[in-house]
Homo-oligomer: A and B are copies of this chain.
Amino acid sequence: MPYDPSAFPPFAVTVDLVVLTVRRHALCALAVRRGEPPFQGRWALPGGFVRGDEDLATAAARELAEETGLHVQDQTGPAPANAAHLEQLATYGDPKRDPRMRVVSVAHLALAPDLPAPRAGGDAHSVRWAPVNELLDEREGEHTAPLAFDHARILADGVERARSKIEYSSLATAFCPQEFTVGELRRVYEAVWGVALDPRNFHRKVTGTPGFLVPTGGTTTRQGGRPAQLFRAGGATLLNPPMLRPEA
């Protein structure tokens, strides 16, 4: 690795974000409308350049906060109400992925609870939560033009990562508010996997997995029906045994 700057080609490095949440029983992703060419007017994933003195994870957290007001879940201390999970997804560096110049994008995956409040600093016309099925739909439509750049691929990879990761980790709780019921957690799994799960078996499974859920003592009827116990996410990050996705 020589010093000589002419020995290597310069790249622009960006972070792109796949921000997922569950709204109205559907898995949704954050999309922004592009205001300038290329792909002007098309929807894209939020993202931006990594600064010269900034770590990749820091850049992703900064973009996430700018775009949504969400803060990255801190391991220590009490989690704020609007805490999100953030992890690196993959890096995309096809020489032709951006027609202007050579851009390498380090995509990150963020999982957030459904936000009742509007997004900070967001323009309603240029930022929206869209069902991933719509965004990944190939057909043209009012809101269904393909995503800009290679963002459909990135989104698909992010969705697949989320789908498989909630199997063997407690990440599904990142889609829930701080306190949640077993039924709410089940609806998260159903929305992310796109399947229906048996409430009784799910309840047994999830309450029987050590470290997954801790009861808070409270109950709620916000979903209607009989009052349900409230839980908080337990300390376990890896689930043993895992939640099994039903056969394809």
Contact = CB atoms under 8 A, between A and B. Distances in A.
A93 B50 contact: yes
A104 interface: yes
A13 to B, nearest CB: 5
A100 B1 contact: yes
A88 B55 CA distance: 19
Nearest to A102: B52
A53 B1 CA distance: 19
B8 A12 contact: yes
A11 B9 contact: no
Contacts of A55: 93-95
Contact of A104 (B94, B98, B102, B104): B104
Chain A interface mostly helix, strand, loop or mixed? loop
Contacts of A79: none
A52 B100 contact: no
B100 A3 contact: yes
A208 to B, nearest CB: 17
Nearest to A88: B90
Nearest to A9: B52
A247 B36 CA distance: 53
Contact of A106 (B36, B51, B101, B104): B104
A54 interface: yes
A217 interface: no
A91 interface: yes
A56 B103 CA distance: 11
Contacts of A3: 100-101
Interface string A178-218: 00000000000000000000000000000000000000000
A13 B49 contact: no
A48 B101 CA distance: 21
A186 B247 CA distance: 27
- Chain B CB count within 10 A is highest, among A36, A51, A94, A104, for A104
Nearest to A164: B168
A190 B95 CA distance: 40
A116 interface: no
Interface string A40-59: 00000000111111111000
B49 A7 contact: yes
A10 interface: yes
A149 to B, nearest CB: 10
